Amino acid sequence: MKRIAALLCVLCLLAVPVQGEALTVDAESCILMEKETGEVLYAENEHEQLEPASVTKVMTILLVMEAIDGGTLRYEDMVTVSANAASMGGSQVYLKENEQMSVEDLLKAVCVASGNDAAVALGEHIAGSIENFVAKMNQRAKELGMNDTTFLNCTGLPAEGHVTSAYDIALMSRELVLNHPDVRRFTTIWMDSLRDGAFTLSNTNRLVRYYEGCTGLKTGSTDSALYCLSATAERDGMELIAVVLKSPTSTQRFESAKALLNYGFSLYSLTKVAPEQVLPAVPVRLGSKDYVQPVLGEGSTLLLEKETAANLTQELHLAEELQAPVEEGQQIGELLVTAGGEQVASIPIVAGETVARLTYGQILTKFLRMAFMVKSFHE
């Protein structure tokens, strides 16, 4: 740990990469990913299949948020707790059979207190049965490219064959925080309550209180999985995801996540590239419009080492003329971004609108109109 602290001090002071120096993390597996680009900044054994414990619930939360944002579920909907949900052991909020609780409170219970009973209640409500919900979890995992993952439950309670990897957890964590930012209302809670204040909730993720910029996300621990964590934090407009699996102690998992996050924040930054000049309209031959306005395409947000980001130059390449038809989004140029003579990125310049090709009749009409204007001018 002293070695980690010393390394991070150097990194913070210099804000440049330390060549040949590896980051030490006290865990079987780990990964550090940037949210916007999905780029991996650091990883060790990131595809090793391990038990995730309650970090499993990131997928449970993701499916709940997708249902809410998709309009098939509402925060205010009331859920009736089944006997199965009420029977869940481990971390729980002590739901009773037939007790009714809102989706919002159940989601809060999952995000803050890691309630197994709340997770099962939500899963049953969404899919009709926990078996159907777990099938949805595995289907969504496949869609996200989580090839190391097999879910057998929605809680993370021990089950032989229930495995994932640090890389896969980073993928589903990224999907959650990138596309469902409202989840922060729950994942950043330190203390709250349920049942009109009768039941106190305290976040299992202590980074929420003690790490600057922490936005979540989910802890987990069992005797076999040991201590796991998917931690998210944002500083200066950049959000990082640090996943730690099978750490020996609770303290070590949090310190390892902090080390990963500190490493990322000290070395990297997100830079949004914009053209240094207004992009000129490009002439279009035989088009329904004479010009098309170019716009910057995707990929203008770059994840760069801070030293590189401070020394960027641009070179614009744009078509001098286009032949109709021109489709919206069609590439018509590129913005080359370099640093120290080395190319950093090539960002496409695309057509901002569609310009149809003139028909023969329209061409003839346009020609006659121009001829008439020329004749009128000479008269």
In tens digits, the chain (379 residues) has pLDDT values of 334 344 333 333 333 333 334 688 999 999 999 999 999 999 999 999 999 999 999 999 999 999 999 999 999 999 999 999 999 999 999 999 999 999 999 999 999 999 999 999 999 999 999 999 999 999 999 999 999 999 999 999 999 999 999 999 999 999 999 999 999 999 999 999 999 999 999 999 999 999 999 999 999 999 999 999 999 999 999 999 999 999 999 999 999 999 999 999 999 999 999 998 899 999 999 989 999 999 999 988 999 999 999 999 999 999 999 999 999 999 999 999 999 889 999 999 999 999 999 887 776 776 667 665 655 555 5
pLDDT at 222: 97
Those residues whose C-beta lies under 8 Å from the C-beta of residue 117, and which sit 6 or more positions away, are: 81, 85, 86, 87, 88, 92, 93, 94, 95, 109
pLDDT at 360: 73
Whole-angstrom distance, CA of residue 129 vs CA of residue 151: 15
State the alpha helices, DSSP H only, in 219-344: 250-267, 306-309
pLDDT at 21: 45
pLDDT at 330: 95
pLDDT at 376: 58
Those residues whose C-beta lies under 8 Å from the C-beta of residue 307, and which sit 6 or more positions away, are: 15, 16
Global pTM reads 0.86
pLDDT at 14: 33
Q: b/e string for 117-137 if b means 16 or more Cβ within 10 A?
A: bbbbbbbbbbbeebeebbebb
pLDDT at 244: 98
Kind plus residue range of the DSSP H or E element containing 226: strand 226-235
State the alpha helices, DSSP H only, in the chain: 2-14, 57-69, 83-86, 103-113, 116-127, 130-143, 166-179, 184-187, 207-210, 250-267, 306-309, 360-378
Cα torsion 94, 98, 99, 105: sign: positive
The question of whether 35 is a catalytic residue gets the answer no
Tokens of 218: 């989910």
Other CB atoms within a 10 A radius of the CB of residue 255 amount to 18
pLDDT at 374: 52
pLDDT at 270: 94
The question of whether 91 is a catalytic residue gets the answer no
Q: What is the CA radius of gyration of the chain?
A: 27
Name the active-site residue from 29, 35, 57, 266. Answer: 57
Tokens of 175: 């999907």
Whole-angstrom distance, CA of residue 242 vs CA of residue 261: 6
pLDDT at 103: 98
The question of whether 54 is a catalytic residue gets the answer yes
Name the active-site residue from 29, 35, 54, 269. Answer: 54
Name the active-site residue from 29, 91, 114, 221. Answer: 114
